[in-house]
Structure 1
Amino acid sequence: MNTPLPHWLELALPFFHPVLMMVAFALALYALYLGIQARRVRTASANERKELIKGKFGQRHYLAGSLFLLLMVFGAIGGMAVTYLNNGKLFVGPHLLAGLGIVALVATSASLVPLMKDGQKVWARNVHVVLNVVILGVLGWQAVTGFQIVQRIVTQMLTTPQVA
């Protein structure tokens, strides 16, 4: 069964994933900032801590991280779905494989949170930080390869004659 999509949706659909991923990348940077601030709260002197604690950085970091996980899962599934809808297949290459790897790393990083809650599992916090640094690096590289894909899509849209 091959049901055609409305024309406006056909034009907009390829840009859903890139926009969502740009939002996710910005959110990742914000979560990094909040994580650094939460660490400052834990390591600050008593007077400084009293002032910093008002920022609720730990809670905000947790919420930003949870939203980032949500965006990455929906972004990965959405990107694959749109690619399949537009092309009838997935293109298995570095962008797809790295994206799936990022989702796995984000899920792993999030799974360490309960171990960090009590503050006694220092190794969990260290692994969480390392994973998130790797995620940010790969996500930055994904942005570059993603923009190359978007350029190809736009070029294809501009050169393919429209059927009325």
Structure 2
Amino acid sequence: MTLAALPFALSFVHPLMMWVLLLASAYAMYLGIKAKKTRTGTPEERKTLIPGKFAQRHFRWGGLLLGLIVLGSIGGMAVTYLNNGKLFVGPHLLAGLAMTAMIAVAASLSPFMQQGNVIARKAHVGLNMGMMTLFLWQAVSGMEIVNKIWSSR
């Protein structure tokens, strides 16, 4: 690959990374649901769920997702700017920025949730559900952008 082809190739790193992160986000959500069942289930349910360490795994995956989604968002904007000399302010960019803010705020609620704050827990879940909804929409609108980039080549 030549140096001139690098910006075009980089255009596909962001969407590929985001599809992987969408799947990883779904897995983190699964872990969060299991963590809640571990916390609120019957004694028999809790006994079978505790060995899965779902809360710890959810916490780790959430931290990893926070970092990678922020880097992926910045990376997508950087590649767009490098390829075009500007950012295209539209629904895809604005929803991506909203998602980045939502996951950051949701993660920042973790210390309060660890102290048992129910409002923080509900806000965390609500923010992450909103982020996942936007993420699903981003996947569709992102593929439209990828198709435009691919066709322009």
User: What range is the shorter-chain TM-score in?
Assistant: over 0.9
Equivalences for 1:78-93 in 2 at 5 Å?
Answer: 78-93=75-90
1:68 aligns to 2:77 (yes or no): no
State the TM-score, normalized to the length of structure 1: 0.89
Amino acid paired to 1:155: S
Note if 1:148 corresponds to 2:123.
Answer: no
CA distance, structure 2, for counterparts of residue 48 and residue 132 of structure 1: 25
Q: Which residue of 1 aligns with 2:29?
A: 32
Range that drifts further, 82-91 or 5-14: 5-14
The one-letter code sitting in structure 1 at the alignment partner of 2:149 is I
Does residue 118 of the first structure (1) align with residue 115 of the second (2)?
yes
- 1:54 match: 51
Q: In structure 2, what is the Cα distance between the partners aligned to 1:100 and 1:15?
A: 19
Which one has more relative contact order, counting CA pairs under 8 Å at least 6 apart?
Answer: 2
Give the letter aligned to residue 55 of structure 2.
Answer: G
Q: Distance in 1 between matches of 2:75 and 2:45?
A: 44
Q: Which residue in the other structure is 1:129 paired with?
A: 125
Give a deviation string over 1:12-69, Cα, whole Å, max 9, x none: 2000110111111001100110000001101122232122110010011011111111
CA RMSD of aligned residues (A): 1.2
TM-score (norm 2): 0.95
Cα-to-partner distance string for 1:91-149 (whole Å, 9 max, x where unaligned): 11111011011101110000100000022x10110111111111011111111110000
Distance 1:94 1:31 in 2: 26
Code of the aligned partner of 1:52: L
Paired residues in the alignment total 152
Q: Is the 8 A contact 2:99 2:135 kept in 1?
A: yes
1:108 aligns to 2:97 (yes or no): no
Contact 2:109 2:124 in 1 (8 A): yes
Contact kept, 8 Å, 2:7 with 2:79, in 1: the verdict is no
CA contact (8 A) 2:7 2:82 kept: no
